[in-house]
Amino acid sequence: MHVRALSLRDFRSWEAAELELSAGRTVFLGSNGNGKTNLIEALGYLSTLGSHRVAADAPLIRIGAQKARVGATVVNAGRELRVDMELNQGTANRAQINRSPVRRPREILGILQTVLFAPEDLSLVRGDPGERRRFLDELATARLPRLAGVRADYDKVLRQRSALLKTAGRNARSGNRGAEMGTLDVWDGHLAVHGAVLLAQRLRLVHELYPHLAQAYSGIAPESRPATIAYRSASLPPEYLDPARSPQPEDERELEAILLRELAAARPKELERGVCLVGPHRDDLELMLGSAPAKGFASHGESWSFALALRLGAFELLRSAGTDPVLILDDVFAELDRRRRTALASVAAGAEQVLITAAVPEDVPAELEAVPMRVETTGEADRRASRIAESASM
């Protein structure tokens, strides 16, 4: 898989950009502030419907504009597909496939698969559980695009149920038992159904990612303690959390029953606190180095190695399905020592398409032989002057 063309309109700092790309390795060169990361952020958005830098869409729309457009032509096994997204201020986003509108933006998921490694990935190791849940869910959705609908349905149920818990809790404390209790039973069922699907996919993903992660980490940091991962959930029995366990198709029904039992048991506490205490939104991906958790115990170098191993493991897992995802490396080589550079470069050398951002050519390992594209601004006060000029091969 590779991107043949990328177009932007009013995305981040770019009023307009049109790029022709090719398979192989391309590096976007330019000093900070010239918009090179914005280019690969746009591709990441088409792949995941989210940014690796911000949680909301509003910052992606150029200041002064009402909407932004991102489009790409993707080549996969000799077949071309055009995918376009329109990001709107205050209204729903819209998407097209081959210039034809689709009902929901999430219908474009799966057309472009990317694995993006960026400095922000340190938060996978050092950040909150939400960062690791997002990593799991985006990777699971790349493998099974229909999971995007399950995630959206789960989030909707979670919001509705949480609001109902607050109302029911207030009424219960005032001595009024309203109709909310019966309605909560209905929402419990919805949460268990969608939550079970999401849990089953996460457990399956951890099981399959585990060996790729361990191998990647040992190659990056052979002198370090072995790296392992495990899914952590207070809602599930321990036997479900063993990463060596291969999840079965019937697990979804069992997980649904488990969630319903846990929701019933947690109901008094949930009413008291007004929050939903059971479900995959409370879970975490545990990262271990030897017998110690990476968070809080890993050195800076070990944290970088673990974050890199997670992304390389994800790349190999997606690749095992028969198609190389586009590998995107956002200004990371300057942060890595020689060994980690070499490990990353060895994987990149065999990928169908690699897109790299760097401030100077010296940041990119020579063995990658990347084709440079200079990203620059011809007028500091006028972003419309932004342009890309292709240079000679490095």
Q: Cα(196)–Cα(202) distance, rounded to whole angstroms?
A: 10
Least confident of 134-148, 239-253, 306-320: 239-253
Question: Is there a domain that residue 392 lies in?
Answer: yes
Which SS3 state, helix, strand or coil, does residue 262 take?
helix
What pLDDT is stored for residue 315 in this prediction? 96
Whole-number average pLDDT of the chain: 90
Higher per-residue pLDDT: 83 or 367: 83
Taking alpha carbons only, the member of 32, 59, 111, 43 closest to residue 354 is 43
CATH number, domain of 20, equals 3.40.50.300
CB 316 within 8 A of CB 324: no
Give residue 178's pLDDT: 63
Instruction: Quote the pLDDT of residue 391.
Output: 46
Is pLDDT of 321 > 70?
yes
Whole-structure pTM over 0.75, yes or no? yes
Instruction: State the pLDDT at residue 392.
Output: 38
- String of b and e for 325-335 (b: at least 16 CB within 10 Å)? bbbbbbbbbee
pLDDT in tens, 4-41: 999 999 999 999 999 999 999 999 998 888 889 999 99
For range 74-87, the mean pLDDT: 95
Q: Which of 227-236, 255-264, 329-338, 350-359 has the lowest mean pLDDT?
A: 329-338
Residue 198 lies in a domain: no
Instruction: State both tokens at 118.
Output: 């960026």
pLDDT for the residue 160? 94
Residue 381 lies in a domain: yes
Would 383 be classed as within a structural domain?
yes
Is 10 part of a structural domain of the chain? yes
Residue ranges at the known binding site:
30-37
Q: pLDDT band at residue 222, thresholds of 50, 70 and 90?
A: confident
- 166 pLDDT more than 80: yes
* pLDDT computed for residue 329 by the predictor: 93
Give me the residues paired with residue 390 across strands: 373
Predicted local confidence at residue 179, as pLDDT: 64
Rg (CA), the chain: 23
**How far apart are alpha carbons 112 and 240 in whole angstroms?**
32
Give the pLDDT score at 390.
47
- Asked, for residue 376, whether it belongs to a domain, the answer is yes
pLDDT tens digits, one per residue of 354-391: 999 998 888 888 888 778 888 865 544 444 334 454 44
Position 147 in a domain:
no
Higher-confidence position of 202 and 242: 202
pLDDT digits (tens, 9 = 90+) for 303-320: 999 999 999 999 999 999
Domain that holds residue 38: 1-113+323-394
Within a 13 Å sphere around the CA of 221, how many CA atoms are in the beta-carbon half? 23
Binding residues for ATP: 30-37
What was the pLDDT predicted at 345?
A: 87
- Residue 160 CA neighbour count, 13 Å, CB half: 16
Residue with the bigger pLDDT between 391 and 188: it is: 188
- Structural domain includes residue 382: yes
**169-179: pLDDT as tens digits:** 887 777 666 66
Our count of domains for the chain comes to 1
Tokens standing for residue 234? 């207070």
